[in-house]
Amino acid sequence: MRNREATGARAHELLATSGDALRVKLCGMSRDEDIVAVNDAGPDLCGFVINFPRSPRSVSPESLGQLVGELDETILAVGVFVDQPTAFVAQVAHDLVDVVQLHGSERNSYIARLRTLTDAPIIQAFRVRTKRDVERANASGADLVLLDSGWGTGERFDWALAGGIRRPFMLAGGLTADNVAGAIRSLSPWGVDMSSGIETDGRKDPQKIKAATQAARGALR
């Protein structure tokens, strides 16, 4: 059984730090074999899409409990939510995950309400299409922001827009083992988040998971 007190403390510490270290998040895990591959690769964070039927990667809270139970304690569990009630998000954070990631249309007022219910660190994702989206990210009340192209489309946004970000950010969207190192060296993100780029035919691919993690880790060496 995971030591939730220890992983929760590490989550706060991880999201509060910046500097030269590069953090790696792998997202969209839904099967036992995905967790085996993640444990072998050793990222910093592992994401689970919760109760979002539009995503083929979605898992129920019941399935999430089993998957998180198999996750190595050195890897933080991130719950990814899309416009879910704050009470539900807080309950899942209390019971199962170390970090909350908001991937819908949540506003700062939503984040403020959520903070009254849970002390879990909060990541907020933004779909970047214009400079205005980056400004919204700058103004977010979350602990960390994530700049993305959309919902696991495998496409990248115009990375030139990331030049307007004035706070630590996680980069997502179209990242693979082939391009993640270059993205890190060009944009200097706090971390990177990969999902579709570590899949083959819609399923997580253990070889791609390991290769992408190693490529990200090696980018700053």
Show which residues are catalytic: 27, 148
CB 95 within 8 A of CB 125: no
Q: What are phi and psi of 199, to 5 degrees?
A: -120, 155
Spatial distance between the Cα atoms of 207 and 4, rounded to a whole number of angstroms:
29
Asked if 81 and 58 touch (Cβ cutoff 8 Å), the reply is: no
- Alpha carbon distance 70, 65 (integer Å): 9
Question: Cβ distance 197 to 174 under 8 Å?
Answer: yes
Separation CA 123–CA 50 (nearest Å): 15
- Give the pair of three-digit tokens for residue 23: 């953090």
